[in-house]
Amino acid sequence: MSTRIREHIRHNLWGIAAVFIALGGTAHAIHPGGADTISTEDIINGQVRTADIGNGQVLSADVRDDTLANGGLIAADLGPGSVAADEVTDGSLAGTEITNESLAASDLALGSVGTSEIQTNGVAAEEIADNSIDAGEIIDFGLSNQDVGVLYAVVNNDGTLARSSGGVASAPIGTSTPGDYRVDFGRTVTGCAVSAVNGSPGAQPIGAGIIGVQYDLSDAQDVIVRIWNDAAVASNGSFHLVVVC
């Protein structure tokens, strides 16, 4: 190297060193959050993946409130069976939050369903176990005659119906033969116990005579009643008829 070159380097040593530092030294990035930080501006939208987030690192404060646009979690964000009782605030679920017919017996706590949770007339026969209702569940005189299998009819002497247990019709059998009546109970009564007595529909005196009953062999829903006076002559008369099934 010539003396002239060595002299040039010696006189410009610090300037040359500055050039090398500028070209090959450590670069310092400037970020909005300061040195050695990564800010929102440094990340390309949509580039943070599941693998970039540590387990258990997303907190409630990180989830956008559902009162805000595009906020809250939807069903697709939740794994099957991931929401348990302790994740739900007491009394916070309404009918609109529960899919129709989606709750099974295992979803209900013992003793959690009371009268207020049951719709009026919402319990059908198939929901009631056999032999599960006793006298304590029945209001006194709350059962109808049909509920206990007792049917009755009070019939006037002209064959018209004075009153009944319901669903009953009556009429005289023909017009040429007095004292014969047919009472239709609207359901099969063969095999039931049948009893009839002479008697007025109201407070009138009880008429004397003989009364007999039999099933109508041509119609299983009918009972035939025949009345005779005390001289054993067929005669019209009012009567009370009871059928116990």
Task: Give tens-digit pLDDT for 135-170.
Answer: 677 777 667 766 778 999 999 999 999 999 999 999
Tens digit of each residue's pLDDT (9 = 90 or more) over 27-47: 445 556 666 677 777 788 877
| 216 inside domain | yes
Q: How much of the chain, in percent, has pLDDT values that exceed 70?
A: 81
Q: Are 204 and 184 in contact (CB under 8 A)?
A: no
| 28 inside domain | yes
Average pLDDT in the 169-197 region?
Answer: 93
pLDDT bin (cut points 50, 70, 90) of residue 219 is very high
Q: Output the pLDDT for position 185.
A: 97
Q: Which domain holds residue 201?
A: 150-244
| 126 inside domain | no
Residue 243: strand pairing partners = 151, 194
Residue ending a domain, among 25, 43, 61, is 43
| 2 inside domain | yes
Tens digit of each residue's pLDDT (9 = 90 or more) over 75-101: 777 777 777 777 778 777 777 778 877
| 131 inside domain | no
Average predicted confidence (pLDDT) for the chain: 80
Which residues, including other chains, have CB under 8 Å from residue 7's CB and lie 6 or more apart? none
**CB-neighbour burial class of residue 162 (10 A; exposed 0-12, middle 13-18, buried 19+):** middle
Total number of domains in the chain: 2
The CA angle 181-164-188, to the nearest 5 degrees, is 70
| 107 inside domain | no
C-alpha to C-alpha distance for 70 and 96, rounded to whole angstroms: 21
| 50 inside domain | no
pLDDT of 123 above 90: no
| Widest distance between CA atoms in the chain | 170
| 66 inside domain | no
